[in-house]
Amino acid sequence: MSERFSGVHWMLATPFDEDENVDASSIVRLMDKAESSGCSGVVCLGVTGESARMTDDERRQVASQVIEHANGMPVTVGTTAASTKACITYSQEAEKLGAAAVMVAAPSMAKSNVNVLFNHFQRVAESVNIPVVMQDYPQASGVQMPTGFIARVGQEIPNVQYLKLEDPPTPSKITAIRKLIEDRLTIFGGLGGVFLLDELSRGSVGAMTGFAYPEVLVEICTNMREGGRASAEPVFNRYLPMLLFEYQEGIGLGIRKHALHHRGLISCAKVRYPGSEPTEEIRQEFLDLIRDIEYD
């Protein structure tokens, strides 16, 4: 693609019904919300899209539904897998379905050998004609990717064009990477948006994350682009309690799905077992929080 991604690429939760089947009608509502919120694109089948808990057929179903209802928005499809061969297969399938890019995290088996890890990204990137988003998320992958390694990928694998950086402290890592390779890799923040303001200040171009209120992320990014930090900071500070509440470790996805259900965007807040769901007390705390912030 000639034009680089920027702005908010909303990470989609995968909606399920009470029997844990993929809910296609809710996918359509999520896509409508992404468009009406001003998102620049969407990402499906990420960690918080519960891709690891889905069959290959379900992954294909979700990707197809998202791409079908994208209405011109670029769709990035998560294709992370434990083996390079499987990752290549997922990536090529995503390209055939019409994905604009694929997102790939490090396989845990490569954590002890950076050369093996480099070869993994290189082989995947060379197998497709669409850009690769390299996801740096050691909390989920168990793999630490040093700044030098990321810089090497950026310099030597042309088709890895984007970095989804989720290795805190993210702002300082953005600075370290940019010192090595400047803007060779286009960097997005993640982690629920909790570091978004400082990430933008350090040189990220937006967010790839799934906060249940994407219009808030869009407003922060737009204000930063048009008015600088002084314009974006009041918006970020107002909604930071919501960002932090949703980002609670272990139950964050359950809270996000509860919020999406509360907003009428998904029909059921089910997290596929054995994923954790919020207690009734936590659900009520969420409702109290959005009432206090006066957000509906």
Q: Which residues contact 135 (CB under 8 A, 6 or more apart)?
A: 46, 80, 103, 104, 105, 106, 141, 163, 164, 166, 190
Task: State percent of the chain over pLDDT 90.
Answer: 91
Give this prediction's pTM.
0.95
**Residue 185's pLDDT band (boundaries 50, 70, 90)?**
very high
Closest by alpha carbon to 12, among 75, 72, 71? 75
Tell me the pLDDT band of 214, cut-offs 50, 70 and 90: very high
The predicted model gives 169-178 an average pLDDT of 97
pLDDT tens, position by position, 259-271? 999 999 999 999 9
In the predicted model, is pLDDT for residue 295 greater than 90? no
User: Distance between CA 257 and CA 250 in Å, rounded?
Assistant: 13
> Is the predicted pLDDT of residue 2 greater than 60, yes or no?
no
Q: Which residues of 206-219 are buried (b: 16+ CB within 10 A; e: fewer)?
A: bbbbbbbbbbbbbb
Q: Positive or negative CA dihedral for 122, 82, 189, 92?
A: positive
Domains in the chain, start-ordered, CATH in brackets?
Answer: 7-236 (3.20.20.70)
> What DSSP assignment string belongs to 139-188?
HHH-----HHHHHHHHHH-TTEEEEEE-SSSHHHHHHHHHHHHTTSSEEE
Q: What is the pLDDT of residues 76-106, one digit of tens each?
A: 999 999 999 999 999 999 999 999 999 999 9
